[in-house]
Amino acid sequence: MSRKVGTGVFSPRQLLTSLPDALRKLHPRHQLRNPVMFVVWAGSVLVTAFAAVEPSVFTVLIAVWLWFTVLFANLAEAVAEGRGKAQAESLRRTKKETVARRLTADGSEEEVPGAELRVGDLVVVEAGGVIPGDGDVVEGIATVDESAITGESAPAIRESGGDRSAVTGGTTVLSDRIVVKITTRPGESFVDRMIALVEGASRQKTPNEIALTILLSTLTIIFLLAVVALQPMAAYSGSEQSVVVLTALLVCLIPTTIGALLSAIGIAGMDRLVQRNVLATSGRAVEAAGDVSTLLLDKTGTITFGNRKATELIPVGESTVDELAAVARLSSLADGTPEGRSIVELTGSAEPTEAERLAEFVPFTAQTRMSGLNLGDREIRKGAAGAVRAWVRERGGEMPDKTERIVEEVSQQGGTPLVVAECVNGRKAVVRGVIRLSDVVKPGMRERFEELRSMGIRTVMITGDNPLTAKAIAADAGVDDYLAEAKPEDKMALIHREQEGGRLVAMTGDGTNDAPALAASDVGVAMNTGTSAAKEAGNMVDLDSDPTKLIEIVGIGKQLLITRGALTTFSVANDLAKYFAILPAMFLAIYPQLGGLNIMGLATPASAILSAVIFNALVIVALIPLALRGVRYRPSSAAALLRRNLLIYGVGGVLTPFAGIWLIDQLVRLIPGIG
């Protein structure tokens, strides 16, 4: 069970501990970043000046509550940032200064401080040693304790030659010996970047956040002009209003609620991801996750368990099982992938001879889709049926019809067939048989894809398997579509096709060959166990390396957008109630008919204005828990979400201030000079 890095649910104690940071944010330089709250800050300064020159109970109380409004807005942001700082402190404790055993050019070792390591250095780490920096395992296999980073108590296996080669500085090797190639400079490690991100130092406003800030600034300017225009009208009517009253009116009418909570909502969205052990390198990625309409899911490890193992050897032609086993073993001796090792285990784990060690290894590539070795006058290959068929034909041979039938049967049953062929002394190549690799769809995947479908999200399974295997597994899992025999360029082409239709695309990946597609996706989630290239290319890293978490990430992104929309709706709606509280009170002396609009029965113009200002400040504090926790998200259509938002937060935003202002007025009217 993995530990959640976040601080958990909101508690009132967080308000108290974040108060010093909120007070520091009263500096005008900080307030300038938020145009709406800067107007409130400027109004507070102005009213404070009037309270100092011509003190009265009403003026002093208005000044105090205007400052509280600014302070509460700062408090919302400080609480959100405080969670990040707590996480950062936890991460700092995981950093350890280490002495690295660096390999020199002649193969000897030298001990150097971890801070002196550079990109490309090779270091040796043995059981009990701490990995000195982020890198990739280039030699060996070992179990690694990553609990300091992921919270997972079970050790992880890191090995060379696959997609589980990345290691993180500060983690501990528990067994065996590995050689690590350093991929980051000191101070730029994964933990360093995590610290900067969870503290909020690297957080930039997202496009949607910038657009909403511009909208709020525009509304503020409109209300400012409207309030300024009221004074000539009031003077003409013989009831000129004081600057204090006009300032109070402006603060209550501009969207202070959402202006105060906007930054906290964005920070809290990233915090919710960190609580699920996902590191987002930008708030934009979190937002994009909420708008995703296409999910590209790698089959292996995401939809299926991913531990494909050789489970059966099926000979063809005149070959026997023993002959096929011997050739299959040779084809996999130098294959460092889990599949290759499982073939060696199935065929007999005898140590390679000296001659076999000197054989020429032919590595697997996405283009050839084959691997094998050349041993003296023997050429041996294993791989996809189409690729091996072409190789056999180049060497004068033909693939037997029985082989084609076996390949089709294995594929239809959801397995992966690997055809094994051999060419000796340049004679006709001979197909020896088929290796069955078996994989299993994870339980509950069909239900999760149904849930995504109800959210309007299309799922596409990506696999390097042949179309028949891909079709069988896609049908079993319940995905909407699949891409078989996918090469890196095929993934890129699919992403671009989806994006051309205006859709946002998300995908997961862990290998170097996934890096281009991760970079091209709007949301690219790299696995922590994957290669450094994949982690650099993505804009999120899943510390638990659970590819199905992409579904949770989409839900968190949608929750962020819904929370921002809901609180914006509430903020704009509750201005209506404050309008009914303040405007009739301002002009009641001249136009007694406005008394009909005093539906709350507020005591006096002074109590009405003060009550509205107090409510305007207190509602910010009341909504901080909701901004940090987020509005609960239920999978549904956009139209249903809009109706729910308008019903709960639109109507609620209108009714709540009427009740709140009335209650506050019952207390305020008791103050001498107000009631």
pLDDT at 4: 42
Q: Which among 99, 84, 113, 194 is positioned nearest to 149, based on CA atoms?
A: 194
- What's residue 129's pLDDT? 85
Which of the listed residues 543, 568, 600 is the one where a domain comes to its end? 543
**pLDDT tens digits along 356-375:** 888 888 887 767 788 899 98
Does some domain include residue 373?
A: yes
Residues 378-388 have a mean pLDDT of 91
- For the ranges 110-114, 203-207, 544-548, which has the lowest average pLDDT? 203-207
Last residue of a domain, one of 543, 577, 597: 543
Mean pLDDT over residues 544-567, rounded? 84
Q: What order of strands is seen across the sheet that includes strand 458-462?
A: 278-280, 540-542, 523-527, 504-509, 292-298, 458-462, 481-483
Q: Are residues 354 and 410 in the same domain?
A: yes
pTM above 0.75, yes or no: no
Among candidate residues 517, 520, 553, 514, the one with its CA nearest the CA of residue 534: 514
The pLDDT score that the predictor gives to residue 620 is 92
Query: What is the model's pLDDT at position 116?
Result: 81
Which domain CATH number covers 324?
Answer: 3.40.1110.10
Residues that are catalytic: 298
Q: Are 178 and 171 in contact (CB under 8 A)?
A: no
Domain assignment present for residue 399? The answer is: yes
Cβ count near 477 (within 10 Å): 22
* pLDDT tens profile 94-118: 556 678 888 888 888 888 887 788 8
**Largest CA-CA distance found in the chain, in angstroms, rounded:** 111
Residue 286 falls inside a structural domain: no
Q: What average pLDDT does range 161-178 have in this prediction?
A: 80
Query: Do the Cβ atoms of 538 and 288 come closer than 8 Å?
Result: no
Task: Give the residues across from 381 on adjacent strands.
Answer: 372, 421
How much of the chain, in percent, has pLDDT values that exceed 70?
88
Asked if 72 and 178 sit in the same domain, the reply is: no
Beta-carbon contacts of residue 16 (< 8 Å; ≥ 6 apart): none
Residues 201, 179 within the same domain:
no
Ligand-binding site membership of 578 (annotated)? no
User: 10 Å Cβ neighbour count for 645?
Assistant: 18
| pLDDT at residue 202, as a whole number | 46
The tokens 């089709």 sit on which residue? 408
367 labelled as ligand-binding?
A: yes
Q: Categorize the per-residue pLDDT at 7 as very low, low, confident or very high, splitting at 50, 70 and 90.
A: very low
Q: Kindly tell me if the per-residue pLDDT of 5 is higher than 50.
A: no
pLDDT confidence tier of residue 201, bands split at 50, 70 and 90: very low
d(CA 353, CA 668): 93
87 annotated to bind ligand: no
Residue 654 scores a pLDDT above 70: yes
Same domain membership, residue 383 and residue 431: yes
Instruction: Looking at the structure, tell me whether residues 246 and 117 fall in a common domain.
Output: no
SS (H, E, C) 622-658: HHHHHHHHCCCCCCCCHHHHHHHHHHHHHHHHHHHHH
Lateral strand order in the sheet of 370-375: 309-315, 430-438, 416-424, 378-383, 370-375, 360-362
Question: What is the CB-side half-sphere exposure of residue 660 using CA atoms within 13 A?
Answer: 21
Through-space distance between the first and last CA atoms of the chain, rounded to whole angstroms: 59
Give yes or no: residues 589 and 648 share one domain.
yes
Query: What are the angstrom distances between the C-alpha of 560 and each of 289, 553, 563, 629, 663?
Result: 9, 11, 5, 10, 32
Q: Residue 221's closest CA among 246, 253, 248?
A: 253
> Of all helices (H) and strands (E), which one includes residue 509?
strand 504-509
Of 393, 376, 403, 400, residue with least CA distance to 428: 393
382 is in an annotated binding site: yes
Q: Residue 404's domain spans which residues?
A: 316-437
Q: Are 432 and 421 in contact (CB under 8 A)?
A: yes
> Is 366 within any annotated ligand binding site?
yes
Evaluate the CA torsion angle 63, 65, 66, 72 in order and state its sign.
positive
Q: Does 370 count as an annotated binding residue?
A: yes
Find all residues with CB under 8 Å of 660, minimum gap 6, and list them: 615, 618, 619
Q: Which residue has the higher pLDDT, 246 or 412?
A: 246
289 is a domain residue? no
Q: Do the annotations mark residue 339 as ligand-binding? A: yes
pLDDT band at 589 (very low <50, low <70, confident <90, very high): low
If asked whether residues 448 and 430 sit together in one domain, one would say: no
536 among annotated binding-site residues = no
C-alpha to C-alpha distance for 637 and 558, rounded to whole angstroms = 12
3-class state of residue 301 by DSSP? coil
Q: How confident is the model at residue 85 (pLDDT cuts 50, 70, 90)?
A: low
Q: Which of 517, 543, 569 marks a domain boundary?
A: 543
628, pLDDT greater than 80: yes
416 found inside a domain: yes
DSSP-derived secondary structure letter, 595: G
Residue 418 and residue 450 in one domain: no
Number of domains in the chain: 4
Please say if the pLDDT value at position 272 is more than 70.
yes
Per-residue buried b or exposed e for 14-51, using 16+ beta carbons within 10 Å of the residue's own CB: bbeebeebbeebeeeeebeebbbbbbbbbbbebbbebb
Check whether 371 is labelled as a binding-site residue. yes
pLDDT tens, residue by residue, 251-263? 988 989 998 888 8
Q: Is 90 annotated as a binding residue?
A: no
Question: CATH no. for residue 483?
Answer: 3.40.50.1000
CB-CB neighbours of 665 under 10 Å? 25
| Rounded average pLDDT over 340-351 | 80
User: What is the spatial distance between Cα 10 and Cα 391, in angstroms, rounded to a whole number?
Assistant: 63
User: Is residue 244, in this structure, part of any structural domain at all?
Assistant: yes
The percent of residues above 90 in pLDDT, for the chain, comes to 16
176 among annotated binding-site residues: no
User: Three-state DSSP class for 387?
Assistant: helix
> Among 429, 548, 612, which Cα is nearest to 58's?
612
Task: For 398-420, write each residue's pLDDT tens digit.
Answer: 998 899 999 988 887 777 899 99
DSSP annotation of 9: S
DSSP state of 351: P
Do 578 and 635 belong together in one domain? Answer: yes
| 118: CATH | 2.70.150.10
Cα dist from 438 to 104, 306, 467, 476, whole Å = 43, 9, 16, 14
DSSP per-residue string spanning 395-415: TT----HHHHHHHHHHHHTT-
Give the model's pLDDT for residue 204.
57
Per-residue model confidence (pLDDT) at position 142: 86
* Inside any domain, residue 503: yes
Within 8 A by CB and 6+ apart from 529, the residues are: 156, 158, 163, 164, 166, 510, 545
* Residue 269 domain-assigned (yes or no): yes
Is 457 or 267 the better-scoring residue by pLDDT?
Answer: 457
User: Is 665 known to sit in a ligand binding site?
Assistant: no
Whole-number pLDDT of residue 6: 40
Tell me the pLDDT band of 2, cut-offs 50, 70 and 90. very low
Tell me, what's the pLDDT at 162? 67
Burial of 635 (0-12, 13-18, 19+ CB in 10 A): middle
210 shares a domain with 151: no
Same domain as 159, residue 174: yes
In a shared domain, residues 72 and 203 = yes
pLDDT at residue 610 is higher than 50: yes
pLDDT at 390: 92
Distance from the Cα of residue 347 to its chain's centroid: 42
The per-residue pLDDT of the chain, averaged, comes to: 82
Q: Parallel, antiparallel, or unpaired for β 172-173 and 122-126? A: unpaired
The band of 434, judged by pLDDT with boundaries at 50, 70 and 90, is very high
